[in-house]
Structure 1
Amino acid sequence: MTAPAAAGFWQRYAAWSLDAALVAAPVLLFGWRRLATGGPRIAEAFAGLADAVATAMLDALAAPGAVLTAWLQLTADPRLQAGAGALTDAIVAALGPQLAAFVVLGLLYHVACEAAPWQATLGKRVLGLRVADAAGQRASPARALLRHLAGALSWLTLNLGHLLAALPPQRRALHDRIAGAMVLQAGAAASRPPRWARAWIAAQAVAGAAAALWLLAAMQAVLQAAVERALG
């Protein structure tokens, strides 16, 4: 029988994204009404901030004296502060409860599954992965919990902590190293995920790029309209 090998980076990402989708599904289902009503409020607050930015910029350009000084004073403009506060409040009201539910549900899901006899979430099981301690044995609930909580550090390092999982031979992310854990793959290490997993990752990349382009176009349209209103 072939000994388990360290799981590759893309296998781990495919498993994580599947699990994230599973956890997000009930959160979105039960929080859809709040998101539906919060979306227009966020758009309205952003439009208000754009109006404040455009008006403040025109005032700075028309102000006598050093232009640079006027521009530096924009950050202290009460109109901008009020607009930014309104946008922040709208975002928190619409997304805050859903994000909190996603975090709590994700913690319970990952810790319970990875400390169980099968040592894996559903996403990891589909990819043939399992979480183990440094000796390759089943991780305790405390170790699984520490690993999940330490994952915040991998995110806070701008994903550099996650990228450590791409470095052979151990392929351990930052949170794996902190918790004394590892992610193993049954059999010989695969050079890349299976075809369906590659298609899943590609679909995420396409959807992410499309969403980013749509968001940029929408923001540009709002800002342009704000400038036109400021110009009268």
Structure 2
Amino acid sequence: MRPAGFWRRSAAWSLDAAVVALPVLALCGKRLQAAAATLVEAWSALVDAVAQRMAAAIMATDAVAAPDPGVLLGLVRGSMRDPALLAAAADLQSALLTLAGPPLGAFVAVFFAWCVAFERSALRATPGKRALGLRVAAAGGGDPGAGAVLLRFVAGALSWLSLNVGHMLAAVPPDHAALHDRISRTRVVLAAGAAERMPRWAAAWLALQGVALLLATAWASAAMASAMQAALDRALRG
């Protein structure tokens, strides 16, 4: 058996995830729109509450010639107990759960059926794995069996809950076995005739995801900073 590498497996997983996620998001579209509107309102309320606290801190420190560290520390501690801040944070958390919970639950359910059905079939691979020339096999070779395929998916939760350390184990030679591979005694291997080198289109697909993540992070950071500055300006003006 030729074990598959980490990046090749990542490309295959992300292909399967994209195929499953698109219809799930489409079905949850109306619910997501309503939940997103609630999330925006909750975020705005939290930003305003934080800005009010920051404005109070600025005015308090301006009232003395040299800001006292003890005063600043007291302001920080007071913020942690501020009922308005705590309530706004709780509302934001609730809005996030409302937004992400239903589509995430639907995605996991559909992805479970997708992975188990394809990996237990004669193909022994999801469409994403097949596109990358991968197959799921028992640790000793051959058919992994229904129980191993089921355990493999369930154990995958541990790879996520370990902050992806479980997934990163797939980068460790010689077995390239992730945590859920080891628990279920399965392996992801290259199919007969598959090239050792990952296809260029798969590398481009991964690079595209990386660029999209960077752009999304930059946009979100800029949007949050802008919203906070606007709220602080409003608070300082009274």
Q: Which residue does the alignment assign to 2:40?
A: 43
Runs in 1 of length 4+ with deviation above 4 angstroms? Answer: 188-191
Q: Which residue does the alignment assign to 2:90?
A: 85
Task: Please state how far the C-alpha of 1:189 moved relative to its aligned partner.
Answer: 7.4
**Match of residue 15, structure 2, among 2, 18, 40:** 18
RMSD: 1.8
SS at match of 1:132: strand
Q: Which residue does the alignment assign to 2:128?
A: 123
Task: Please state how far the C-alpha of 1:74 moved relative to its aligned partner.
Answer: 1.5
State the AA in 2 paired with 1:125. Answer: R
Alignment length (residue pairs): 229
Contiguous gaps of at least 5 residues in structure 2 = 62-67
After alignment, is 71-80 or 35-44 more displaced? 35-44
Alpha-carbon contact 2:54-2:232 (below 8 Å) kept: no
Structure ID, larger Rg: 2
Q: Which residue does the alignment assign to 1:159?
A: 164
Identity of aligned residues (%): 49
Q: Deviations over 1:130-159 (max 9, x none)?
A: 111111121222211111111111112221
Alpha-carbon contact 2:4-2:134 (below 8 Å) kept: yes
Task: Please state how far the C-alpha of 1:60 moved relative to its aligned partner.
Answer: 4.3
After alignment, is 45-54 or 179-188 more displaced? 179-188
State the AA in 2 paired with 1:32. Answer: G
Task: Please state how far the C-alpha of 1:92 moved relative to its aligned partner.
Answer: 1.8
* Distance change >3 Å, CA 99–CA 86, structure 1 → 2: same
**Match of residue 219, structure 2, among 203, 214, 219:** 214
SS at match of 2:121: coil
Contiguous gaps of at least 5 residues in structure 1 = none
Alpha-carbon contact 2:133-2:194 (below 8 Å) kept: no
Q: How far apart, in 2, do the equivalents of 1:229 and 1:188 lie?
A: 65
